[in-house]
Every structure is written in structure tokens, then in C-alpha cells.
Amino acid sequence: MTPRFAEVIMPLPIEGTFTYSVPEELSSIVKIGMRVVVTFGTHRLYTGIIQYLHLIPPDTKNVKPIFSLLDEEAILIRPQLDFWEWMATYYMASLGDVYVAALPSGLRLENETLIRRNPEVDKTLSFSSRESRIWNAISEDRACSIQELIKRTESKHAVVWIKSLMDKKAVIVSQTITDTYKPRTISMVKAAFNKDNEQEVQTIFERLKRAEKQLSLLITYLDLSQLLSKQETKPVSKQTLLEKSGASVAVLNGLVDKKILQLYDQPVSRLTHEITTPLQEAASLNLFQTKAYQSLLDEWKTKQTVLLHGVTSSGKTEIYIHAIQKVIALGRQVLYLVPEIALTTQLTHRLARVFGSKLGIYHSKFNDNERIEVWKNLLHREGLQIILGARSSIFLPFHDLGLVIIDEEHETSYKQQDSAPRYHARDAAIMLAHLHSAKVLLGTATPSIETYQNALSGKYGFVELKQRYEGITLPRVASVDLKEAFRKKQTAGHFSDTLIEAISGALSRREQVILFHNRRGYAPYVECPQCAYVPKCKYCDVSLTYHKQQHKLICHYCGFSQPLPDRCPSCGNNSLKIKGLGTEKIEDEVSQFFPNAKISRLDLDVANTRKGFERIITAFEQHETDILIGTQMVAKGLDFANVSLVGVLNADVLFHYPDFRAHERAFQLLSQVSGRSGRKGKQGNVLIQTMDPNHAVLPQVIAHDYISMFRTQMKERYEFCYPPYYRLIVINLRHKDENTVHHASERLAKQLRKLFSDRVLGPEIPPIGRLHSWYMRTLLLKIESNRSSNAAKKMLKETIAELQAEAPFQSVQINFDVDPM
């Protein structure tokens, strides 16, 4: 078939695709998955993606042709486009949103508008003063971008004046598309003379008689390149030549000036790891690992997805490596997903030692050129077989995925939070694996409730690895009653005397200490200092959040609110405390108590760059620092050999997150930080400070009892209608006018209740109810797990379409968070 029309995905948050006609000269070469340049709107050029080709004219009158093709072959392959479509539907985002999230931005060429003076301008034209200002700002001989002109004229309204100049035909406006991808090149040296012409070679040596250094450099070059021998000429880089000859750049430039040697740029890959040692065999598995690996293979015979529940330090990574080897031996590919924060050099080096150049790393913080090279390498099957990557690596062009490993599957950072599509990389990766008929391995020491339920129900296979490495015992975990310590005045700052003594003890034995301190962010809560009571929503079972402006306690799920009580409803104490507002200076306190200890801090402020993060970690690893104070970051995927004590300063913050997963997450986090304590031969200690030593999660953490946590949580999830029994969809509404968004949300809630009755919660004012002059409301929809979520999403979309058909609500912006975390 000769296609006449193309459905093009645009990099914009608009529903659907746009139909462009295929010009005749392109009709034989266009293919699905190619990038095209198209005009969209008045002038703008965009890079779109061809989703379909067909023959059916659209019913719009104005069909534009494809402006040009950017690719000779498709840059996206079939499974990817199917995957995009699934993601857009499931997460209720537009295909354009998925496109923007999926493709490295360097492959999405940006439009640039250029303005130049019209050389044939009518000299009799008169300009207004503002027009002249623009005219004078345009360079005489060169085209300028709009941004340049705005800067030069210091006027935000330059655009309007450019337009009036354009109307007078005084300037020419053109659109260009610029490619930002630049291959890395190295400077190479080659001969500028004909080596087979003996005469010429002779003359050169004559000429260099009085230039001793140049002659010696030339000889080094001939030596390295074997130019005059019968063997094949070897390429020589400028750097090698200068190093081997010991000559300066000036000497080389002399030869270049004399047209004896010549420099040229050679593109090189950015993907080469520094592999100094030869590849190593994978470590062999111990008895327990072997057993686990065998049952893993057994489970895969009947199940696509298998949960590997292995305690910390049980050696899950070795099992992963063995599974990877098996899959790549068949010529298939592997995606190894880790949470962003766990993508450390510790891990990449470990894998690179075994897999060498078959291993590729992919990470959203990587520079775009590197990401493009990984993309193209996979696309053109140039050798990468294993991708170790964070969330966004699910979008890479895998031709034949055989295995997807999702490490730390319970990690909430797998969920994209801030912008659409709000996908969960674990769930999306399982779907991706399904499209490739690939196996999935979910690994964790503390499975998410949803995953564990799937494993118990038989939907997933299930393998347990309970044995830690020999000589490594689980740490001794204990809680410290802060309330009592305060009463007995056995505290200093945020520290109980018990914790301070434990730290001193560890330091005196030359052992290291990790202090875990979680920040609170935007959700302050209220606590009774006497009995540690924290008010909860009676409908949703989550902690109420204190709202300063309204001086109220509000449930951020259903919107239930109550005034701040005067007395504690539990013990009658009359001074409830607002927690989580202060900026605690833990670091200062520690250095005050332990003036001789070397202390470092690891949180988002300090470790906002990968390098900063690695530096702090390495220093602690090598015992250059004694105490590491950190947020969640210290809990993730880091192994330290000499840590004997982990102190949790304020576990209560974890217990009282206004989130139905608070209990689960507290268990996971406390178990994980505990796992940092104790190494070969030494049992570690963990001290958890809390105002509420009777909190149900504490005995579970202390006894390392995942099952009991799972059971109690499942009961609560059932009772209060949460996953895994229900699926959740958050509906966010925003508008510049508070009244409008208020009425829109009330109206939407009313309409939805007709369809979903009491499964609709809200509307509610979110913790940050106003963002950059936008007012927000949220609704929460709960759908029974056994009901079709597709049908529910369709009904939801229809209801919203009806709402937005009404004039005042047209401009209300609505987005969704499916399976929120």
C-alpha cells in the first residue's frame, strides 16, 4: 500500500494524534516510528512521531503535508509504540505526554524562529520608535533568534514588534530545526602526503633536516601507524602521538602547517566503560542461593513474574547475575531496573566486571548525548544486551527482551510523581515484559503489599531466600521511649541518653554510626506530648494534616476536617503539639555531643549531584567519616562494612505520614536502615527513638516479621477500601479562580457519585492548595479490584467531558494520578 496519510503523535499534552498527508516523494519511504517535522499551528515546527499510516482522509478540511522526514529508518519499533499506547490509556495521559517522557530530548529536535533584515527592504518605510529598536537590535548580516532579540531590547513584547516589522516586509522570519546531538570526537593524525611516492617521502625528510623535533615526531608517527610497512596502517590519535613522542603541540602544528601531517576528527562512542581488568567470572552461588535460583527457574516455567523475597545481605544480586547470564546466552536482552538512588558506582562496577561492554547504563540525569547513544546502540543492535537503568529505561528500543529485573520493587520512587504520564515503572515494566514475552524478576527484602498478595494468590511465582551470608546475623533492634526519656529528663536535643551512650560506645570501638532522620515536608501533624496520641481520619484511617491558615485538622484523602481540639481526646492533656514544622539542626547537635567525631550529612541538599553523593558515600566507606546523618537516602542499596549502630531519631514522622501506606512504608524503611547495621562476624545494633513505643509496627520491625506486618495491613486495607482490594485514581483540578475550581470539583464529585456512589471521596483542598496562583482541588476514586478499571476510566473520562462542555468549567485543567503512591 502507498500510504496517503499519517497519524502523527505531537510532543504536546493534547489528546489524540494529528493527521498529515504524506507527500508523494515520501510515500515510498515513510514508516511507522519515524520522526517527522511538521508545521503545527501558525508557524511552529515540531518533531512528531508517525504512529499509523493509512488511506482515509480525515474530515477536517485543512490537512497539511509532512514537512520532512528526520530518519531514514524508524527510531521507534513496534513494541514501543504499543507500549506507549498502553501507558497513555492506563495512566490516563495523552500520547504526547508519553512521547515527551519516553524519548531523550535530544532526539526531539526543537523549533527555532530566526529573524533577519530583509535586504530588499523599502527604504521609504518609516518605523515607529519601538520598531526601530527591534530593527537596530537585529544584526546586519546575520539572523537572530527571538530570544536574542528579547534580551537585546530588554522587552518582553519584542514579539509584537517583530510581527509588525514582518507585516511591513522589513524582516524575514524563518523557522529552523536544530539538532543538539553531537557525537564525541577525538583528534586523529594522518599523513598528508602520498606514502607510495618515494620521491615525495624523500623530499619531506630533506625539508626536516634542520627541524630536529619535527623530524623525530614524524618518525614516531610513522612508527605508530606502520605507514611505510606492508601492514595495514593503524589509526593514531593526537594524544597518543604527543605522549609517545614527548613533543609539544607546537611541534605537531609545525608539521601540520607544512602539510606533512593532517588532523581530523573521529567520532567515538561515549559508552565505553573503563575496563582495566579482564572480565571476571560471576561469583558462584552458595547453597541457599543455588536452591533459590533453581526454584526461580522452576517458577518461570509456569509464571511470567516471580517475586524473590530475600532478606538483606542474602545475595540477591548474584542470583540476578546468574539469571542475566542465562538470558543473554540465548541472545536475548535484559533490563535491570533499580531505583534512581541505588544506581551507584558500587553496582555498575560490579556488573561491568562480569558483562563488560554488553552492559549499558541509562539514567535520566545522564547527559542527553549519552542517552541517545544508548538508544541508538539498542536500536541498531550494536552490542548492548543488558541495560542497568532507572525508571525511564523502560522506554528504550529493546528488540527482544528476555528478562526484566526490578530490584527493590517496593520502592516508591519507581512512580513518576510530578508530571504526566504518572507511571509506575514496576507495573509498566511488567506490561513491557508481557509485550516481549519476557520473564520478570521482582526482588526485595520488604515486598510491597500488592506484590506479596500477588505472590500469595499465585498470580506471581514466589521464591524465598531467608539465609544471610555466613557470619552475618540480623541486627538487634530495640526501641527507645522518648516520651519517658523526656519525662525523666534523660534527653539532650533530639537524642535520648540511651542513643548517646550507644554512639559513644561505637565510636570508642572505632566503629561507624548511621543516624537516620526523616524530614517532614509539607504535612505537619498534631501530637499529644503526654500520651503520643495523633488524630486520624475516622473514614480513611490516615493521620490528619494540620493546616495553618485555617487552624484546622484536615484529611487529605476525603477532605474531612475538624477544628484543632483543645484537649487530647485520649488522655485529656490540654497542650497538643504541632510537629514537623521546625527546622531541626541535627548535625549541630551531633558535633556538639561528639566534638571529636568526623560527621557528614547526606540529604537532597548536599547530594543534589551524583558526584556529591558518591563523594560522601566513598568517604564514609573508607572510614574517613565516623557518623553519617541522612534522610531516606542512607537506607538504599548501600553496603558499609564497619557500621555497628544505626540510630533512628524520629520514627514517629514515619508512623504519621498522611498516607494509607504509612505503616507499610515505616516497616520497609526501618527494616532497610536496620540492614545497614552489622557485618561479617559482628551483630549490629539498631535503636529506634519514638514517642509511641506501642505502635504496632515496632514489634514487627524488631522481630523482622514481615508476614505479621502483611496480615495486619491487609485487614486495614480491606476495611478502609485501599489497594490491593481497590484501585485508586486521584483526579486533580486546577484553575486560576478559586470559586471556579471549587464549583467544578463539587459538580464533578456529584456526577461521579451517580456512577460510583460512595467510592468517590472529596473534593478536598490538597496540602499545597495553591501553586503559582493556581487553585487546586482533588477527588479520589476507588474502584473494586475485580471490576474493570478500563470501563471505570472510560466512564470517568466521559463524565469529565460532560463537565467541560459547560462554559464556566472549560478552562479548568484536569489531570489524573492512577495508582497514586
Partner DNA sequence: AGCACGCCGACT
Partner DNA sequence: GTCGGCGTGCTC
Q: Which of 34, 555, 673, 691 binds Zn ion (CB under 5 A)?
A: 555
Chosen from DNA, Zn ion, none, partner binding at 530 (C-beta under 5 to 8 Å by type)? Zn ion
Minimum CB distance to Zn ion smaller for 660 or for 706: 660
Q: Which of 214, 393, 530, 713 binds Zn ion (CB under 5 A)?
A: 530
Judge whether 465 and 308 are in contact, CB under 8 Å: yes
Chosen from DNA, Zn ion, none, partner binding at 736 (C-beta under 5 to 8 Å by type)? DNA
* Residue 528 in contact with Zn ion, rule: CB under 5 A: yes
* Residue 537 in contact with Zn ion, rule: CB under 5 A: yes
Please report which helix (H) or strand (E) contains residue 663, including its range: helix 662-675
**Distances in Å between the alpha carbon of 746 and those of 501, 527, 761, 789, 794?**
56, 32, 11, 23, 20
Total residues at interface with Zn ion (CB under 5 A):
15
Contact range with Zn ion by CB under 5 A, out of 22-30, 297-305, 399-407, 532-540: 532-540
**Distances in Å between the alpha carbon of 134 and those of 111, 167, 492?**
21, 14, 65
Residues that bind DNA (CB under 7 A): 12-14, 18-20, 39-44, 58, 60, 62-64, 113, 128, 130, 156-157, 159-160, 163, 736, 807, 810-811
Minimum CB distance to Zn ion smaller for 531 or for 795: 531
Minimum CB distance to DNA smaller for 487 or for 736: 736
Alpha helix segments (H runs only) across 363-458: 368-379, 425-436, 449-457
Q: Which of 29, 268, 279, 571 binds Zn ion (CB under 5 A)?
A: 571
Please report which helix (H) or strand (E) contains residue 47, including its range: strand 45-54
Minimum CB distance to DNA smaller for 37 or for 478: 37
Chosen from Zn ion, DNA, none, partner binding at 163 (C-beta under 5 to 8 Å by type)? DNA
Chosen from DNA, Zn ion, none, partner binding at 531 (C-beta under 5 to 8 Å by type)? Zn ion
Q: How far is the CB of 130 from DNA (least distance, A)?
A: 6
* Residue 573 in contact with Zn ion, rule: CB under 5 A: yes
Chosen from DNA, Zn ion, none, partner binding at 573 (C-beta under 5 to 8 Å by type)? Zn ion
Judge whether 728 and 781 are in contact, CB under 8 Å: yes
Judge whether 333 and 400 are in contact, CB under 8 Å: yes
Long-range Cβ pairs for the range 693-699 (8 Å, 24+): 693/479, 693/480, 693/481, 693/483, 695/651, 695/655, 696/663, 697/655, 697/663, 697/666, 697/667, 697/670, 698/479, 698/651
Minimum CB distance to Zn ion smaller for 189 or for 532: 532
Minimum CB distance to DNA smaller for 420 or for 646: 420
Minimum CB distance to Zn ion smaller for 629 or for 691: 691
Q: Which of 558, 602, 709, 729 binds Zn ion (CB under 5 A)?
A: 558
Judge whether 602 and 633 are in contact, CB under 8 Å: yes
Amino acid at position 484, single letter: E
Chosen from Zn ion, DNA, none, partner binding at 173 (C-beta under 5 to 8 Å by type)? none
Alpha helix segments (H runs only) across 679-813: 697-702, 706-719, 738-756, 789-805
Minimum CB distance to DNA smaller for 113 or for 385: 113
Chosen from DNA, Zn ion, none, partner binding at 681 (C-beta under 5 to 8 Å by type)? none
Q: How far is the CB of 721 from Zn ion (least distance, A)?
A: 11
Specify binding-site residues for Zn(2+).
528, 531, 537, 540, 555, 558, 568, 571
Q: How far apart are CA 410 and CA 446, in angstroms?
A: 7
Q: Which of 568, 599, 617, 744 binds Zn ion (CB under 5 A)?
A: 568
* Residue 570 in contact with Zn ion, rule: CB under 5 A: yes
Q: How far is the CB of 337 from DNA (least distance, A)?
A: 28
> Longest C-alpha distance within the chain, in Å?
107
Q: How far is the CB of 569 from Zn ion (least distance, A)?
A: 8
Minimum CB distance to DNA smaller for 10 or for 189: 10
Long-range Cβ pairs for the range 750-753 (8 Å, 24+): 751/799, 751/802, 751/803, 752/779, 752/781, 752/796, 752/799
Chosen from Zn ion, DNA, none, partner binding at 570 (C-beta under 5 to 8 Å by type)? Zn ion
Minimum CB distance to Zn ion smaller for 558 or for 698: 558
**Residue 26 C-beta-side C-alpha neighbours within 13 Å:** 25
Chosen from DNA, Zn ion, none, partner binding at 12 (C-beta under 5 to 8 Å by type)? DNA
Judge whether 649 and 515 are in contact, CB under 8 Å: yes
Q: How far is the CB of 498 from Zn ion (least distance, A)?
A: 23
Judge whether 803 and 751 are in contact, CB under 8 Å: yes
| Block residue for cell numbers 547527559 | 367
Judge whether 738 and 771 are in contact, CB under 8 Å: no
| Block residue for cell numbers 535520648 | 496
Q: How far apart are CA 102 and CA 51, in angstroms?
A: 14
Q: What pairing do the DSSP bridges indicate for beta strands 495-496 and 760-764?
A: unpaired
Chosen from DNA, Zn ion, none, partner binding at 810 (C-beta under 5 to 8 Å by type)? DNA
Q: How far is the CB of 369 from DNA (least distance, A)?
A: 22
The candidate with the shortest Cα–Cα distance to 305, out of 90, 453, 417, 416, is: 453
Q: How far apart are CA 364 and CA 340, in angstroms?
A: 9
* Residue 534 in contact with Zn ion, rule: CB under 5 A: no
Q: Which of 86, 127, 193, 560 binds Zn ion (CB under 5 A)?
A: 560
Beta bridge partners of residue 388, listed in sequence order: 336, 361
Chosen from Zn ion, DNA, none, partner binding at 63 (C-beta under 5 to 8 Å by type)? DNA
Which residues are near Zn ion by CB under 5 A? Answer: 528, 530-531, 533, 537, 539-540, 555, 557-558, 560, 568, 570-571, 573
